[in-house]
Amino acid sequence: MAEFDLIRQLPHSQEAEQALLGAVLLDPEKFNEIVFLKPEYFYEEQHQQIYTAMLEMYNTNRSIEIVNLVDTLTRLGLFNDGNAYKYIKLLCDTATDTLNAAECAEIIRDKAMLRALIEALRELSEEAYSEVGGADAIIAEAERRIFSIAENKFDLSFDRIRDVLRDNLSLLEQLSENPDLLSGVKTQFEGLDRVLVGLGKGDLVLVGARPGMGKTSFVMNIAANFAKATKEKVAVFSLEMSSEQLVNRMLASEALIDNNALRTGKMSTEEWKRIAAAASLLSETQIYIDDTPGINVNMMKAKLRRLKDVKLVIIDYLQLMQSERHTDNRVQEVAEMTRALKLLAKEFACPIILCSQLSRSNEARSDKRPMLSDLRDSGAIEQDADIVIFLYRNDYYSKEEDAASGEAIVAECLVAKNRHGPTGTVNLIWQGKNFRFYTPEEKYDHVG
């Protein structure tokens, strides 16, 4: 078997590579159909070099024909065996202008993916035999490598406006008949939903506040509200709290039980009944929690792929995430992470709510309400986010007695950026002892 593997050829199609390159020389317009190909997709080295030269010519608006191609190859130091012109002429002579370039390019890309998969599996096999890093680390790396290969696709097609309009008008008709069908994820905070009209598919929603302002409670309230109302899947990446701590908070919020009583277990019979009812209600939801510390975006992607059909993702919080590339420039790392999270939201077609700590800069101002400039580490956070929400409470700075006693107080929800509509301030009520936000008009009774 081992001897057979040594002589087995890697997947490739010399015929497809020759036919495609020759067809482009006959009709340079065909290059527009294959521009998604990368030089390394070609198996033969001379084909890689010829395609590299063609790509250079395409990018510099030079005509892709034999004389220019040979000149470009020479200038780039490629194909220097003296036979470049003869071989390129052979490609032209054997080519046909009726070739379907897109289909031929797909064959080449498919063979390249198979070779990449073989190489990845070979390296992973060696890592497994070495037993370095353990099984979990190797499995995670296997997922990352295979998903990376699978994502190596490119779609050259456009969405025609007629088709997009048809879908949009259909949605508008549904909304006109039933205004409750918002076009995105509802937070169930009425005033906030009026401003945002729901969180859209692919939206990166940033929730920023100073520590202790209630970010975690706010986003977990949204998670519970959405999961209870829709029965859809919600994924929560909790980098600060353990799953147990987070669920205890959710129980306190749902049952309206003082968190201190929940931590000590000293509760009345009535409170125990409320806890049981809250636990029963929450257990029926599809909320999935991952409390891996220092998780990175690729690990999140792998976990979300396994979960499938997630409709809302929550990350608490940005500054505790690890970058794929460790550098001395934290600003650059954060910029790369927020960009990757925006792409992740688009890939999974669901909103991602990302918590972020704010810098202390607002504390030097007389009006301590947060501004976009208070976002820590990077201006890229503001750029990549579709929606930016800040939480603010006067009591946080004035140390009012109501805050200390856990009584309900006013919390401001400041929509500082909204790519899809208006900004503004929505007042909520914060019940600190229950980790609960609600709108002033709402009267929450305990479950049960």
Cβ burial 178-202 (10 Å sphere, 16+ → b, else e): eeeebebbbbbbebbbebbbbbbeb
Distance between CA atoms of 247 and 110, rounded to whole angstroms?
45
Look over the chain and give the mean of its residue pLDDT values, rounded to a whole number: 83
The reported pLDDT for the residue numbered 13 is 92
Q: What are phi and psi of 313, to 5 degrees?
A: -120, 135
Distance between CA atoms of 352 and 202, rounded to whole angstroms?
7
Distance between CA atoms of 400 and 394, rounded to whole angstroms?
8
Tokens of 267: 């509760």
Residue partners of 147: CB distance under 8 A and separation at least 6:
301, 302, 305
- CB of 204 within 8 A of CB of 384? yes
The reported pLDDT for the residue numbered 317 is 82
The reported pLDDT for the residue numbered 57 is 87
The reported pLDDT for the residue numbered 6 is 47
Distance between CA atoms of 270 and 259, rounded to whole angstroms?
15
Tokens of 126: 């060696």
The reported pLDDT for the residue numbered 152 is 67
Domains of the chain and CATH, by start: 1-157 (1.10.860.10), 183-438 (3.40.50.300)
The reported pLDDT for the residue numbered 443 is 46
The reported pLDDT for the residue numbered 41 is 92
- CB of 355 within 8 A of CB of 317? yes
Which residue numbers in the chain have pLDDT < 70?
1-7, 80-82, 133, 151-158, 160, 171, 175, 178-183, 325, 364, 376-379, 399-407, 442-448
The pTM of this model reads 0.68
- CB of 234 within 8 A of CB of 285? yes
